[in-house]
Structure 1
């Protein structure tokens, strides 16, 4: 046997061995052939459930008969009896009318309104108006402006107030009794000192 024939015989033996090994796995896991069985059972049909109707309470209709009014066994007479009339007269005579005395209505209390006199405010203090020329955080600047106003012949005064930056000093000129006089003073000070003032109420308690 030549060399080519030996190779063909060996190749055939190897192919047969491989076929014997893998053929059972191809047919079935256990080496058995299982035919494919198709099921002919139809699928479960989908049925839409309808809501059950609510039971209704039956309406019982009664027979419409006119209600009969029971008739009394006795007859009512139009004329009252003599005993009933005598009893009513005795009750009327026994009960005397009670006359209540007229109630004395209290007179409404009137609150006396104290009107402020001319030249006084609601607290009955002298009313007045002043011109505020400025508010200074530096007391030295406030003192300089106050001295300038006093030297010019104006009645100037200062007042310490609480502000966002602490205690500040306000410079005022006044007071004047009428607001119109304070407005004229404001214009005069603005022309002379070039300061835009503000007319405010004069507080006599802090003066």
Structure 2
């Protein structure tokens, strides 16, 4: 054998041994799908059972309720911010605020406005009334307990729908229990 061939064989063996030594350090041959199954969850605490007594029926139950609203929508009046109380009335019933967006003789226009207001996120309803003997339908937003929220809604609705809405207040009357 020639001297050059011996050096090549020796170099190949040295490179092979170095590859066998350093290859496992460079490449991780561990199984990547292996999952650590040791639990770090503490054991469940001991819970004492609790006994609950069965509910007792009351001896008498009031079955009739007066579902009449304390505020009649037909008696709404334009708000007078200097005189109308803020919060609750003298009888401790909350004063409610409405926004009259429009009054229409054509029910279709009223319906269109209600749909548009609902799509804009407002709670809206309408009421039938007679003005000078002519049937009309007014579109109302509310009720709201906070006057500032009504004022915020008014500015938003007036700007978005191009109307001049009116703020109405409702002074609730006490309802007699029957």
Structure ID, larger Rg:
1
Report which of the two has the higher share of strand. 2
TM range (shorter): 0.3 to 0.5
Q: Structure 1-normalised TM-score? A: 0.38
